[in-house]
Amino acid sequence: MIDQTLKYTNEIQMERRRLQEEKDELQKEIDSMKLAKADQEEERQKFYEGASWLGRQSYAFAEGQVNKLDELKL
């Protein structure tokens, strides 16, 4: 009876260790995904800032050209 109890206790401890290792691996994956998501958010923000800057530059250039065209008409 004691041997059987020790055997079950040992199996439970081994299973617990295996589950803990699996949990740790999954937590590492989650942490990695969070970092990747943060990087994507930062890249997206940089993209939109660049697109906004380009839009302002394009608008300013076009407005300047329209003003020059108006001056030529006069």
Which residues form the domain of 74? Answer: 1-74
Query: What single letter denotes the amino acid at residue 38?
Result: A
Give the Cα separation of 38 and 40 in Å (integer): 5
Specify the number of domains making up the chain.
1
For 10, 11, 26, 35, the CA distances from 2, given in Å and listed in that order, are: 12, 14, 36, 49
Q: pLDDT tens digits for the chain (74 residues)?
A: 888 999 999 999 999 999 999 999 999 999 999 999 999 999 999 999 999 999 999 999 999 999 999 888 87
Supply the pTM of this predicted model. Answer: 0.59
